[in-house]
């Protein structure tokens, strides 16, 4: 491809880099299918993350599965070596890629209770026979504004 002008579709599709990337993507997809077939119980929780220089990297969603796959690592390695494309695998790495915890959206603080609401809460607490519930109303009333609103 030349720089400075738009590449033709023929140049793009015949690019050696694109061919290499496409071949690598096909290899990873095939490897992912083979690993899923070997790890029938864990196939939905384990993915092929990378394959480079004889090292296969698998990623899982939690540490318990990571331990299980590490335990089965030797038999999985032997099974994969029987496939001609993966006869050069020397090692399997298992990484735990737990998803980042979802952040709670920041909410603005609630407005303070008005003086009249605080008064009503205190009056209600005085009328209640249940001591725990009465104390809860008093604690809630303590958050009310001390200044009467006009």
How far is Cα 133 from Cα 45, in angstroms, rounded to an integer?
47
Q: pLDDT tens across 56-90, in order? A: 888 887 778 788 878 888 888 888 888 787 788 88
Domain at 12-96: CATH code: 3.30.300.130
Give pLDDT tens digits for 107-130: 888 788 888 999 999 999 999 898
Mean pLDDT in the chain? 80
Question: Going by C-beta distance under 8 Å and a sequence separation of 6 or more, which residues neighbour residue 88?
Answer: 54
Q: How many CB atoms lie within 10 A of CB 121?
A: 20
79 DSSP 8-state letter: H
Would you list the domain boundaries of the chain?
Answer: 12-96, 111-150
pLDDT in tens, 11-37: 666 778 888 888 888 888 888 887 777
Give CA–CA dist 57/40, Å, rounded.
Answer: 18
Q: How confident is the model at residue 150 (pLDDT cuts 50, 70, 90)?
A: low
Q: Where are the beta strands (DSSP E) in the chain?
A: 46-52, 55-60, 91-96
Enter the pTM of the model.
Answer: 0.51
Is the pLDDT confidence value at 40 over 70?
no
């Amino acid at each position: 491809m030349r720089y400075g002008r738009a590449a033709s579709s023929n140049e793009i599709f015949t690019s050696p880099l694109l061919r290499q990337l496409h071949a690598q993507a096909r290899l990873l997809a095939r490897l992912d299918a083979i690993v899923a077939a070997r790890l029938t119980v864990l196939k939905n929780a384990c993915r092929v993350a990378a394959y480079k220089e004889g090292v296969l990297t698998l990623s899982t969603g939690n540490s318990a599965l990571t331990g299980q796959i590490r335990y089965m690592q030797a038999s999985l390695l032997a099974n994969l070596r029987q496939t001609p494309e993966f006869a050069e695998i020397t090692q399997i790495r298992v990484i735990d890629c737990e998803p980042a915890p979802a952040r709670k959206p920041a909410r603005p603080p609630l407005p303070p209770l008005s003086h009249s609401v605080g008064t009503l809460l205190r009056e209600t607490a005085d009328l209640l026979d249940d001591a725990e519930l009465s104390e809860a109303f008093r604690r809630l009333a303590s958050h009310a504004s001390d200044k009467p609103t006009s």
